[in-house]
């Protein structure tokens, strides 16, 4: 299941995001979307978790959580 993570602090690193989701299960991939011009984070990213139950648990647990001073939003990517 591919999850969309929005409202990330610009300072949040990909490794930090991966560790956050890995606490809930196997993470297949983790990608922050970067601005091509500046190389800075655009404040959102995607996490893929192969087991749907773990992905749903992570989504429920992490949606609205404060990470680096920002309340992140987690939902299923469309």
What DSSP string runs through 38-66?
Answer: T--EEEEEEEE-S-HHHHHHHHHHHTT-E
Q: What pLDDT does 52 receive?
A: 96
Is residue 45 situated within a structural domain? no
Confidence of residue 77 (pLDDT cuts 50, 70, 90): very high
pLDDT for the residue numbered 33: 96
Write out pLDDT tens, residues 5-17.
999 999 999 999 9
Instruction: Examine residue 18 and state whether it is found in any structural domain, yes or no.
Output: yes
pLDDT of residue 53: 97
Within a domain: residue 22? yes
- As a whole number of angstroms, the distance between CA 78 and CA 65 comes to 21
Query: Does residue 7 form part of some domain?
Result: yes
Number of domains observed in the structure of the chain: 1
Tens of pLDDT along 16-75?
A: 999 999 999 999 999 999 999 999 999 999 999 999 999 999 999 999 999 999 999 999
Q: 11 is in which domain, residue-wise?
A: 1-35
- 16 in a structural domain: yes
Question: Tell me, what's the pLDDT at 5?
Answer: 98
């Amino acid at each position: 299941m591919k999850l969309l993570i929005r409202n990330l602090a610009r300072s949040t690193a990909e490794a930090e995001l991966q560790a956050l989701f890995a606490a809930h299960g196997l993470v297949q991939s983790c990608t922050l979307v970067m601005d091509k011009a500046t190389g800075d984070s655009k404040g959102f990213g995607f996490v893929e978790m192969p087991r749907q139950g773990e992905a749903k648990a992570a989504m429920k647990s992490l949606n609205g959580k404060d990470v680096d001073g920002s309340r992140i939003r987690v939902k299923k990517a469309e």
